[in-house]
Homo-oligomer: A and B are copies of this chain.
Amino acid sequence: MNKLNYEGFKTTDIGQPTVQRVAPKVRVTTGDDKVVDSIETVVKKTVRDGMTISFHHHFRNGDFVFNKVMRIIIDAGIKNLTLAPSSLTGVMNDIVIEAIKKGTITNITSSGMRGSLGDFVSHGGLKNPVIFRSHGNRARAIEHGDIKIDVAFLGVPNADKLGNANGMEGDAVFGSLGYALMDAQYANNVVLLTDNIMPYPNTPASIKQTQVDYVVKVDKVGDPDKIGSGATRFTKDPKELKIASMVNDVIVNSPYFKDGFSFQTGSGGAALAVTRYLRQAMIDNQIKASFALGGITKPTTDLLEEGLVRRVMDVQDFDKGAAESMHHNPNQQEIDASWYADPDNKGAMVDQLDVVILSALEIDTGFNVNVMTGSDGVIRGAVGGHQDAATAKLTIISAPLVRGRIATVVPKVTTNVTPGDSVDVLVTEYGIAINPKRQDLVKAFAHLPGVPVYSIEELQQMAEAKVGKPKPLEFTDRTVALVEYRDGTIIDAIHEVKD
């Protein structure tokens, strides 16, 4: 990677430094030469050995673009690339492994990785350590020049011949282009791939012609059915519902639940259930939210329609309903990853966030959270917006005490992703634990009916009593990945698993 001397994580307090931003090189054109007939042509024009290339992951598991482009880059015999996507999804795994094995990719920075690729990296498949960065930290790193993108390959469901594009119209819509907007603004070369060339000029233009070098027409950019869940799935799991109900109790009885409050609930069954409970509490208490933030789902845009939320600030949509809402509701504002969460900014949305609900693979007695490695030590997760949104005034970790035979609450997390300093409350199906640094919340939640309060150590012991003490994991000395905190310092290293 570009940085040689890393500093260790010290504090969640970003302070008020003054930072010099960077800017791209621009190849001047009138725009009449942008349309390129094939990916081969554009790869030949733009990609050279040793470059940094990027992609976005807004198509999630419906992505066709990543494989199309990487196939051609591998076959062209290009070597030593740094891969710097906003994140990597499962459909990208096979070809990334192939590219690593062939020497096409020698460095990776990503929000996360899962499945076969996580396994491959955890077993030492990539020589140089992967750098995991949160969405806000990726924005910061791009703006600082820690990530210098030579060529960004950005799939879009529509674009005109000069590159004006958005995520809202076409077959493979995904809504907000939030993460990709960073690449469009900062990459030296920006290549759009689309299956839908629109009449010029195409508006609204989330990506603008002033940012785009080439437009390639391809067959299909994505599989609409795999981009997001079509209909929203509410959990029926009694354990998840119990957690969601307790999360709601915590929110509603916190000092932050008042008119004009703001929240980020995220996706997943439990999160959707929280949104449903919260909706009722808002109606009952005649409270309206100023904004909902983050990855957005239809239950959240429904609150916007109902007038219970005044604005939705949208960096990413998790389902079709949310994407369609962005198209039609002007109060759903598309925001880029910098505006969402860059810590080195003139104020990001997460800095103004009251309440956030986040998940955990593990949380330890210091309230540190692991969302990156499994109980076997293998990489199977993503930083996502976890570190970023944990800056909220009330950060709630919602997680079952145990999953099958595996404890969630542990003495020490396998990988520290989000420092305990920024976590306020853990909610499990048995009860909650409050970070001792938040004595105000200890008082506020002392006597909530149906919400037993434990110390985090008690919850850890309850988990251990249920599933026993696991055998310690065995790692080699070799570092296969580094996890940055959102300010660019190193919060943890992930080692090669022994097995």
**Residues on A facing B (Cβ under 8 Å):** 14-32, 34, 143, 162-163, 190, 199-201, 203-205, 208-213, 260, 290-291, 310-311, 313, 330-331, 333, 338-339, 342-349, 351-352
Contact = CB atoms under 8 A, between A and B. Distances in A.
A399 to B, nearest CB: 28
Given A22-B23, A345-B210, A31 B351 contact: yes
A31 B260 CA distance: 17
In terms of DSSP, what is the predominant structure of the interface of chain A? loop
A209 B311 contact: no
A290 B330 contact: no
A211 B348 CA distance: 10
Contacts of A200: 290-291, 352
Query: What's the number of copies of this chain in the assembled complex?
Result: 2
14 contacts: A17-B28, A18-B27, A19-B26, A20-B26, A32-B347, A162-B347, A190-B346, A200-B290, A203-B311, A208-B339, A210-B338, A210-B345, A211-B346, A212-B346
Given A201-B290, A352-B162, A23 B26 contact: no
Given A21-B23, A21-B25, A339-B210, A30 B347 contact: yes
Contacts of A14: 28, 30
Nearest to A310: B199
Nearest to A15: B28
Contact of A347 (B209, B310, B330, B349): B209
Contacts of A31: 346-348, 351-352
Ranked 5 nearest A-B pairs via Cβ: A31-B347, A21-B23, A30-B351, A23-B23, A203-B333
A259 to B, nearest CB: 11
A93 to B, nearest CB: 33
A20 to B, nearest CB: 5
Contacts of A205: 333
Nearest to A190: B346
A23 to B, nearest CB: 4
B351 A311 contact: no
Given A199-B310, A208-B339, 6 more contacts: A20-B25, A21-B26, A22-B23, A23-B23, A31-B352, A210-B338
Contacts of A17: 28
A204 B326 CA distance: 12
Contacts of A345: 26, 28-29, 210
Contacts of A24: 21
A344 B23 CA distance: 14
A26 B333 contact: no
B347 A290 contact: no
A210 B190 CA distance: 23
A162 B208 CA distance: 25
